[in-house]
């Protein structure tokens, strides 16, 4: 089953020549692609609800600093890893199932001068290609929704963490009021969507050997952010650079459903910090 799901997930996210597509969108937005800054990449860099604000909140809750060696599981095009490297000076390795994302991530990190702090590998989050106790922090944002074997996912995260290390999670969870409307940004159909309820996530983490030290329900903040985003798109249309560049023409339907899922309580958002 895992290989079938992995193939479907990669098909959902893969867009051929993604790096070139992103550079073309940057040029359309009036950016000099030979002199890019992290701010230039912001519209596509934080591929999760509430963007950079949510990343920085989690980073502070997890106590990130320049001494930390971080593994970003499900790194996408590398936005979060670049943010953590730039803001906190930590060394970040990103891993993602989608090879095209890893290539684009490495290219963009090099173009903004962060290749010495951020590197990328293609791989499966439930079979992490790293040694035991290699990282101070394992980080993941909006990734577990695509992974059915969550027990194995969190056990692998536990394995690669040093004793006393930190797990930092920001994820979409199942809401109290029933099934998700598809398509959504992480899945076009229910076949690749595997949401758990908050209490189930807590149980999985404890069973994997973690102690949960901080838990915040950020669903209300996510709702407000999405209302504001939808209003901006309604007034101004899609900008040259945005998540639609990553997901293609049906992003509009995904965004609409994501807003409804939030408003109707079909999904919830959780920020979780746990220790090994």
Give tens-digit pLDDT for 208-226.
999 999 999 999 999 998 8
Mean pLDDT, residues 26-41 taken together: 90
Residue 87: its pLDDT value, please?
Answer: 96
Q: What proportion of the chain, given as a percentage, has pLDDT over 70?
A: 91
Domain segments of the chain: what residues?
A: 2-275
> In the predicted model, what is the mean pLDDT of the chain?
91
Is the pLDDT confidence value at 234 over 90? no
User: Residue 18: pLDDT band by 50, 70, 90 thresholds?
Assistant: confident
Q: What is the pTM of this model?
A: 0.92
Measured distance CA(222)–CA(117) in Å, rounded: 30
Q: Tell me how long the chain is.
A: 276
When computed from its CA atoms, the radius of gyration of the chain, rounded to whole angstroms, is 17
CB–CB of 192/146 below 8 Å?
A: yes
What is the per-residue pLDDT across 72-109, written as a single tens digit (0 to 9) for each?
Answer: 999 999 999 999 999 999 999 999 998 999 999 999 99
Is the pLDDT confidence value at 239 over 80? no
Q: Where are the alpha helices (DSSP H) in 113-218?
A: 150-160, 198-207
Residue 6: its pLDDT value, please?
Answer: 64
Residue 14: its pLDDT value, please?
Answer: 56
Residue 251: its pLDDT value, please?
Answer: 79
Sheet of 161-174: strands edge to edge? 118-122, 91-96, 69-73, 135-141, 161-174, 267-275, 211-217
CB–CB of 88/68 below 8 Å?
A: yes
Whole-angstrom distance between the N-terminal and C-terminal Cα of the chain?
A: 29
As given in the structure block, the two tokens for residue 44 are 């596509």
CA-to-CA separations, 91 to 7, 46, 86, 140, 148, in angstroms, rounded: 30, 18, 10, 15, 29
Domain 2-275: top CATH class: alpha beta
What is the per-residue pLDDT across 101-135, written as a single tens digit (0 to 9) for each?
Answer: 999 999 999 999 999 999 999 999 999 999 999 99
Residue 227: its pLDDT value, please?
Answer: 84
CA 214 from centre of chain:
19
Residue 205: its pLDDT value, please?
Answer: 98
Q: Which residues of 168-196 are buried (b: 16+ CB within 10 A; e: fewer)?
A: bbbbbbbbeeeebbbbbbbbbeeebbbbb
Mean pLDDT, residues 58-83 taken together: 96
> Strand ranges (DSSP E) for the chain?
69-73, 91-96, 118-122, 135-141, 161-174, 211-217, 267-275
Cis geometry, peptide bond prior to residue 183 (ω within 30 degrees of 0): yes
Q: Answer with the residue of higher pLDDT: 214 or 7.
A: 214
Of 115-119, 169-173, 200-204, 254-258, the least confident: 254-258
CB–CB of 76/186 below 8 Å?
A: no
């Amino acid at each position: 089953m895992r290989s079938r799901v992995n193939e479907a997930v990669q098909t959902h996210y893969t867009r051929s020549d993604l790096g070139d597509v992103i550079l073309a969108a940057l040029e359309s937005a009036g950016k000099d692609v030979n002199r890019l800054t992290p701010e230039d990449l912001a519209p596509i860099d934080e591929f999760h609800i509430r963007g950079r604000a949510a990343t920085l909140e989690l980073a502070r809750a997890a106590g990130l600093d320049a001494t930390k060696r971080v593994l970003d599981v499900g790194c996408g095009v590398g936005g979060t890893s670049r943010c953590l490297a730039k803001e906190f000076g930590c060394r970040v390795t990103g891993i993602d199932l989608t090879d095209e994302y890893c290539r684009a991530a490495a290219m963009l990190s090099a173009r903004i001068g962060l290749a010495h702090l951020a590197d990328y590998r293609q791989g499966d989050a439930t079979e992490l290609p790293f040694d035991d106790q290699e990282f101070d922090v394992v980080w993941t944002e909006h990734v577990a929704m695509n992974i059915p074997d969550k027990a194995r996912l969190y056990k692998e995260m536990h394995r690669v963490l040093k004793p006393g290390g930190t797990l930092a999670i920001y994820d979409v969870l199942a809401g109290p009021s029933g099934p998700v409307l598809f398509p959504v940004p992480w899945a076009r159909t229910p076949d690749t969507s595997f949401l758990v309820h908050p209490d189930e996530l807590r149980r999985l983490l404890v069973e994997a050997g973690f102690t949960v030290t901080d838990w915040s329900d950020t669903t209300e903040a996510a709702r407000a952010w999405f209302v504001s985003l939808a209003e901006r798109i309604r007034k101004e249309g899609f900008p040259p650079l945005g998540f639609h560049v990553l997901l293609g023409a049906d992003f509009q339907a995904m965004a609409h459903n994501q807003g409804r899922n939030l408003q109707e309580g079909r999904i919830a958002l959780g920020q979780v910090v746990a220790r090994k």
